[in-house]
Each structure stands twice: as C-alpha cells, then as structure tokens.
Amino acid sequence: MVVLEKPEFDAAAFLASAGLGRRIVQVAPKQTFFTQGDPADSFFYLQKGRVKVTVVSQTGKEATITLLADGDFVGEESLAIVEGVRLSTATALTACTALKIRREEMTRAMHEERALTDIFMKFLLARSMKIQADLVDQLFNSSEKRLARILLLMAEFGKPGEPEQYIPKISQETLAEMIGTTRSRVSFFMNRFRKLGFIEYNGQIRVHKSLLNVVLHDQFPDDNAEGPSVSYDSGE
C-alpha cells in the first residue's frame, strides 16, 4: 500500500492567492476595508498599498491609531471576536491589493499549518512592539519628534532593501491625530523640516535620512528657529 505524503504547506502562496474561504480584493484610495461597527467575520492580508486605521469615540471624535503597509494584517482582531463587531475603521491611503480571509478559514489553517501560525505570531509580536514604541513616543517625546518618527516610518527607513523615500499623500489633520497635536503645529513643523532640508515637498513628500537626527539625537541647526512659513498641504 502506497501512503501519499501530504504536500508541504506554502504559507507565502496561501497569503498570495485566492482559495477556499479567501479571495483577492482591490481597494481604491479613500475606500474602506471595513467600518467601525461592521460584523467582524474576516480580515485582510495587505499585499500592496497603505492603510490607516481609525476609531471614533462616542462623542464623534475621530483618531488615527496606526498606519499599515505591505505584509501587514488588517482587522486581525476578528480572530478573537466571536459574533462581534469591528472596533475600528480601515481606509486605503493608496490603491491596495489584499487577500480577504474568512475567520473560520484562517482559524482552520492556523490549527493545521505551523508555518502560517509562525508568520501570524511574528506579525502580532511586531505590532505589539510598535504599540509599545508608540506609547513611549507619546509619553516622552515632543510633538515635533513624534512627527519626525511618523514620517520616517511611512518612508520605511530601517527596513531591508531600498527605503521608500516618497510617502503616500496624508493630510495634516491625520498627522495631527497620530501625534496628538494640532493641524497648525503640524504645518509649522513640516515647514521647518523642509527649511532645514529634512524633507522636500513637490506634490509628494520626500523624506531624507537626515531626519533621523531629529529622532535619534534631537539635532536641529537652530532649535529656536521658526522662520517664515512655507505653504504645505498634502490634501487627502
């Protein structure tokens, strides 16, 4: 009797292609993956694009809590919510391609395939570490330094390979929400960064490595320099 061996599971292929309980979706800029209050019955693996995650308080105030990029999961908390609803809204900042996975299919696959579980656990660990870093950032750093850190993260400095120096269009209001300050302060800081040569703006924002000096060493040529404001508005 010939016993057929089970084919080796390819986690990368699983997350790259449609199949049972999963399908490829295209999400245009400004469209939502899901909205706060929707049924939490699936989540997404982001193959390409940028996404922002926001929450709305009972008083109607909206806040951006994180930005996601290629290789991130979106709405992964649905795995822990049985017959629950979304606690946040995920909106595309750029054109996105994602794999939509039904909660039941992901649960089954993770029980059966350790390689997929490893990928998901590494993502959760990285997300936990980022949340901790964000908390430390909010508690101990100035709003100007927090803005510099957000811009560097969006430009993906520090990731393997060539950094993406141009960041997706994002409004000053969204940046202000993320760092806990006002739109006018973001506008002032962005103009200051451009004047000091840390960023360029010509339809898109280009981030230079020199901005790392703000985050790592609080280095400014002149910490009290305010100078004339230069018009900046990325729009959204």
**What DSSP character marks residue 64?**
E
pLDDT interval class at 153 (50, 70, 90): confident
Q: In this structure, are 110 and 146 located in the same domain? A: no
Q: What domain range is 77 assigned to?
A: 11-136
Q: In this structure, are 127 and 173 located in the same domain? A: no
Specify whether the CB–CB gap between 9 and 113 falls below 8 A.
yes
pLDDT greater than 70 at residue 159:
no
Residue 201, CB half-sphere, CA atoms under 13 Å: how many? 19
Distance CA 40, CA 4 (A): 38
Q: What is the CATH number of the domain that holds 65?
A: 2.60.120.10
Residue 32 lies in a domain: yes
Write down the pTM of the prediction: 0.74
Domains held by the chain: number: 2
pLDDT at 217: 64
Q: In this structure, are 198 and 94 located in the same domain? A: no
pLDDT greater than 80 at residue 230:
no
77 Cβ partners below 8 Å, 6+ apart?
40, 43, 87
Q: In this structure, are 155 and 70 located in the same domain? A: no
Share of the chain above pLDDT 90, in %: 41
Q: In this structure, are 17 and 115 located in the same domain? A: yes
Mean pLDDT of the residues in the chain: 83
Of residues 235 and 107, the one with the higher pLDDT is 107
Q: In this structure, are 192 and 88 located in the same domain? A: no
Which token pair is 235?
């729009």
